[in-house]
Amino acid sequence: MRIREVDASTAPDEELLRLHALEEACAPPGEPFRSPELSLGRYRHSSAEIRRDFFADEDGRLCGAGVLSVHGPAFAYVDLVVFPEHRRRGVGTALLEQLCAAARESGATSCFGHHWSEDGAAFASHVGAHEDQRDVRAMLDLRSAELAKPVVPAGWRLLSWIGAAPDELMESYTRARNAVDDAPIPDGVALPPLTVEGVRAVEATAAKRGREMRVTVALDELNEVAAFTDLRVTAGAPAASTDDTAVAGWARGRGLGRAVKLESLRRLRADRPEVETVTTMNAELNAAMRHINTRIGFVPTATLTTAVLTL
């Protein structure tokens, strides 16, 4: 077995499509997996400050891979996958050693990932990772969903756009996006605060990946963004996904979270009739957002357990 580092931004499509096939083989059940074209965009245009990919080859064939995505010194995410027939042979352990070394080089003191199967749980225990929060993936059948007309308080309004946010709302929108910091997150993990420049970078990355970024916000009487939701869709693709949804602390209890999600989904169905499903993921402890999703019609598909490893 040989472990090698691959630069995903320049690697040949053929090599990256092997990673796509590996990730698809190891994905949680219950949801359609993303298309090869979308995977290529994700691999080549990372939203992380640092992305490092390690491939494990045996007899010239890919048998496992590990990806490190660092968004800040306290947010180092590991995605480690091994074909089932190659497990319990040291492939995952060898990949994790490379990933941990790369994480330490970035300044991280811990890293985390998810597992959803007995194999994943056994591996996390074997390497000394401790289990933390559980995250629930859920899916909406957009074609049959009953999407009520959203309601907002008097004096408030909903606004939607595709792509880059309007300049006049950027500071307010950035403040609202930072409201996701209130959501449950694994112990020791923290995302650095978003800035206007950071939001523009997120928008640019989505465009490079060929993803349509669809945002709906709730605005108060002073034109302050109090809530938002962000959907991602690729033209012609049957599956869309939710990136983030949040309500600013000062504006909670007004039904704004449900309102922005309903408006966003109604517009998506009208604009993109080819979209069949929408997926989302929330911490199991995030009762408020999970309740909103359940009322709208999202059905849980898998529960992922976070595993945190101290470096």
Tell me if 61 is assigned to some domain. yes
- 284-290-296 Cα angle (round to 5): 155
User: Both 153 and 31 in a single domain?
Assistant: no
Segment 240-247 shows an average pLDDT of: 95
User: Both 171 and 104 in a single domain?
Assistant: no
Tell me if 160 is assigned to some domain. yes
Q: Which two tokens stand for residue 268?
A: 């998506």
Residue 185, pLDDT score: 78
Dist. CA 96–CA 93, nearest whole Å: 5
Q: Are 81 and 23 in contact (CB under 8 A)?
A: yes
Tell me if 194 is assigned to some domain. yes
> Domain span at residue 15?
2-108
Residue 184, pLDDT score: 76
pLDDT band at 189 (very low <50, low <70, confident <90, very high): confident
Tell me the CATH number at 260: 3.40.630.30
Residue 136, pLDDT score: 97
Give the range among 30-34, 39-43, 81-85, 214-218 with minimum mean pLDDT: 30-34
User: Both 53 and 153 in a single domain?
Assistant: no
User: Both 157 and 253 in a single domain?
Assistant: yes
Out of 62, 89, 108, pick the residue that ends a domain: 108
- Give all strands (DSSP E) within the chain, no chain letters: 2-6, 50-58, 61-72, 75-82, 110-115, 130-141, 157-162, 212-219, 225-233, 239-247, 277-283, 299-310
Which three-class secondary structure state does DSSP give residue 32?
coil
Q: How many domains does the chain have?
A: 2
19-60 tens-digit pLDDT:
999 999 999 989 999 999 999 999 999 999 999 999 999 998
Q: Tell me what the pLDDT averaged over the chain comes to.
A: 95
User: Both 170 and 54 in a single domain?
Assistant: no
User: Both 147 and 78 in a single domain?
Assistant: no
Tell me if 120 is assigned to some domain. no
pTM tops 0.85:
yes
